Amino acid sequence: MVYTNFSRGFSLLLLAFGGGMLACHVQPVAAQGLLVDVRPDRKTRLPRPHVRPKPTPTSGSYKIESIEVNATLRDQIAQVQVAQTFVNTGRRQLEVAFMFPLPYDGAIDRLTLLVDGKEYEAALLPADRARQTYEAIVRKNRDPALLEWVGSGLFRTSVFPVPAGAQRTVTLRYTQLCRHTHGLTDFLFPLRAAKYTSAPLEQLKIRVAIESQSPITNIYSATHAVKLDRPDQYHAIVTHESTNTLPGEDFRLFYDATTMGVSASLLSYRPTGDQDGYFLLLASPEIKPEPVITTAKTVVFVVDRSGSMSGKKLSQAKGALKFVLNDLRDGDLFNIVTYDSKVETFRPELQRFDRQSRQAALGFVEGIFAGGSTNINAALERAMNMLQDSSQPAYVIFLTDGLPTTGETREATIAANCQTTNRVRARLFPFGVGYDVNSRLLDRLADANFGQSEYVRPAEDIEVAVSTLVTRIKAPVMTNVTAGFDLETNPSPGISATNRVYPKGSFDLFAGDQVVLVGRYRGHGTTKITLQGAVAGHTKSFEFPAEFSRHTADDTNAFVAKLWATRRVGEIIGELDLHGHQEELTTELVALATEHGILTPYTSFLADETSNIRNMAENRARSSVAARDLRQASGREGVLQRFVKGQFKNANRAPSSAYGDGFGNGFGMAGGSADNGRRHNSAPTPEKDQGKKLADNLGRGVDFFDPRQDKQITCTTICTLGRKTFFLREGRWIDSSVTEKEEKNAEKIERFSQEYFDLIGRHGKQVAKYFVLDEPVVCKLGKQTYRW
């Protein structure tokens, strides 16, 4: 098989030729396709989204109904088929041709294009000829949109007609050679052209079937929330579905395969050679056929039966308890603790799970009724005191819907008592039900006891929330795992090569799950990664080779830095929540927001065009004032603030600006990269006006969740492009790394001049994305600052 070095995928560019008279205003294709009028007598910009009411259909109007992507990955080879259905909603027939910009280095072969089943020829243009095509259109139309693909090749098809009112299904089939780096196969399907759209795409479906000769271990999407199905150790199916969506970034999927019992793969990113780099580590156990040899575990379920739990809540809590009992394995230990003002247990001691103990426990659950006050301290002490054997992993699931009202009620004391009685390093998972809980107490309990808190909204089902966690921790394979990094040439002997690694401390690996670690690193070069933990009661270690980059020229792995910054933001909010104002941490919170475009309820003021992003003293003061809201521990706003914090701390992907895949839906649990269908803390989906704002800004907005309003906000005055974040100030986009002095001395470049195009050529195609912004731009490239 012969491959042509051009692309890992494609974006569709739909060019319209003069088949009848076209109106000057051209409606866009609402997905990968872009509709461009290339007649020599017209100057027509690539269409932008419109938030105004739909105009009367013009002669060049298109509507995309759906995009469906089906890909099969066999080791490093991808076979891809894409079906896109669109309708000519205009009044005249169009004569159109498709062009496919090839934005990534790679190899593509056997590309076939079908329109309603009829095949059309496609010609390959190398990067230099493609650049001439792009630049010619940009110069003629004085529209920078196509510059995003400068430096890449393209395929161009012959012309075909689309009658007025007609529907066409365009199908593309191609074979692709995927990039393979440091053990990870990297599949990418470009969707970026979708930002040139008049409205969100009605439906997007992506299905990737992975087949491997070696057992598949880690599967990770850096860009989209995906569901994962593993029929066996050699096959996996990854899916993503969204509706009313605006895909602002390409779909990217990593996977690896190994015959070792545990797998680990590392990606590194170092945009500045004189600063610490960023790394992402994927770790998971091998998926073996049943029966899986796993470690026996201990589970104690602590459930609130106070008066406020009566009715539907208690019924759902009983359902959750039954799910736990039905999901235990023979050999596991368990017990049930119920509490109101008094504490009762199913049995005085832990019970070995078998058919008989299960039936007895189910009978106990049926007899639970609500009434009385809430003695949280006594219930947790009783549960922790049952745990005496540290050789077996232990998990305490703690459910409450209220504040501590009897016994010990002081938040700090309850947390300290629980930590003191936890002698076996049990992992505590508090579930707060409704808005009347002390959410800061629950977070404090989770942080001190190696767990993670969850919050169940009043309209949500307790059983669904608990069952998601229980399913995940069902089969521990390797527990109390630590990751070590041994750099061959450590520039600072005696000092760890890594720092600020999240999640902090040790972690557990479960069958069918994986852990995503992110951190910073010093030095560079060959590194040995050691994962060490307990397997069936015995200490085992696994070693893996890796490479820490010295300097990263492109932005292929820029998402690693943003994911690290996202988790770091969560850690900072946690420190401010539990320990109060700290000037150093507030300064860092503002700096991360400015550098990476990550907004929180305590830095959202940066979206205000009147705020000065360079005035750290003022911004730190504003952030400190906003963070006073953390004093509220209960009520809707108090609970939602801890929800926001948890989303940041446990994110598996950096927050996406893509409409429909933002804050509430875009973050996953820290324990797994693929979503595997598991539940996430839920947030409201973006409202229609927010989607319109984001569409109007070509998908470049930044999302954040506002606990006060209980909704997701889209800020269109901030955009992140690769490694840079831009802020819209006084009608111009300002690179956040540019100082006031640098802006004042910036070199002026005339837009669309030869010098303008040469600047892109000198710095490479990775900077082309900065030139696509419509408004004036101030940007630092290398050591020089420019404005155009």
Instruction: With beta carbons less than 8 A apart as the criterion, state whether 752 and 139 touch.
Output: yes
Beta bridge partners of 336: 301
Q: In whole angstroms, what is the distance from residue 651 CA to residue 99 CA?
A: 36
Q: pTM higher than 0.75 for the full model? A: yes
The encoded tokens of residue 770 equal: 């900065």
320-358 confidence digits (pLDDT tens): 999 999 999 999 999 999 999 999 999 999 999 999 999
pLDDT score at 57: 39
- Give the list of residues 6+ apart from residue 664 with CB closer than 8 angstroms, or none: 647, 680, 681, 682, 683, 684, 685, 705, 712
Task: Enumerate the H helices of 227-367 as residue ranges.
Answer: 312-327, 355-366
- With CA atoms as reference, report the closest residue to 65 among 169, 183, 193, 141: 169
Task: Enumerate the H helices of 405-530 as residue ranges.
Answer: 411-421, 439-448, 462-472
422-474 confidence digits (pLDDT tens): 999 999 999 999 999 999 999 999 999 999 999 999 989 999 999 999 999 99
pLDDT score at 149: 75
pLDDT score at 657: 52
CB atoms within 10 A of CB 541: 13
Q: In whole angstroms, what is the distance from residue 785 CA to residue 759 CA?
A: 12
Q: In whole angstroms, what is the distance from residue 313 CA to residue 328 CA?
A: 23
Radius of gyration of the chain (CA): 28
Instruction: With beta carbons less than 8 A apart as the criterion, state whether 568 and 502 touch.
Output: yes
- Give the list of residues 6+ apart from residue 749 with CB closer than 8 angstroms, or none: 755, 756, 759, 786, 787, 788
Q: In whole angstroms, what is the distance from residue 448 CA to residue 390 CA?
A: 17
- Give the list of residues 6+ apart from residue 538 with CB closer than 8 angstroms, or none: none
The encoded tokens of residue 578 equal: 């539990």
Per 3-state DSSP, the chain is made up of helix, strand and coil in percentages (nearest 5) of 25, 35, 40
- Give the list of residues 6+ apart from residue 289 with CB closer than 8 angstroms, or none: 232, 233
Instruction: With beta carbons less than 8 A apart as the criterion, state whether 683 and 601 touch.
Output: no
- With CA atoms as reference, report the closest residue to 208 among 182, 187, 222, 191: 187
Q: In whole angstroms, what is the distance from residue 80 CA to residue 55 CA?
A: 36
- Give the list of residues 6+ apart from residue 617 with CB closer than 8 angstroms, or none: none
The encoded tokens of residue 619 equal: 């911004």
Q: How does 159-198 read in b/e, with b if 16+ C-beta sit within 10 Å?
A: ebebebeeebebbbbbbbbbbeeebbbbbbbbbbbbbbbb
pLDDT score at 618: 97
Looking at every residue in the chain, the average pLDDT score rounds to 83
Read off the DSSP letter of residue 656: P
Q: In whole angstroms, what is the distance from residue 722 CA to residue 249 CA?
A: 11
Q: In whole angstroms, what is the distance from residue 605 CA to residue 236 CA?
A: 43
Read off the DSSP letter of residue 771: G
Q: In whole angstroms, what is the distance from residue 690 CA to residue 58 CA?
A: 26
Q: Which residues of the chain have pLDDT under 50?
A: 1-33, 35, 37-39, 47, 49-59, 106, 290, 658-698
- With CA atoms as reference, report the closest residue to 80 among 176, 218, 182: 176
pLDDT score at 304: 97
Q: In whole angstroms, what is the distance from residue 563 CA to residue 577 CA?
A: 21
Q: What is the β-pairing status of strands 118-120 and 277-285? A: unpaired
Q: What is the β-pairing status of strands 732-735 and 777-781? A: parallel
Q: In whole angstroms, what is the distance from residue 396 CA to residue 358 CA?
A: 18
Instruction: With beta carbons less than 8 A apart as the criterion, state whether 586 and 594 touch.
Output: no
Beta bridge partners of 719: 726
pLDDT score at 107: 60
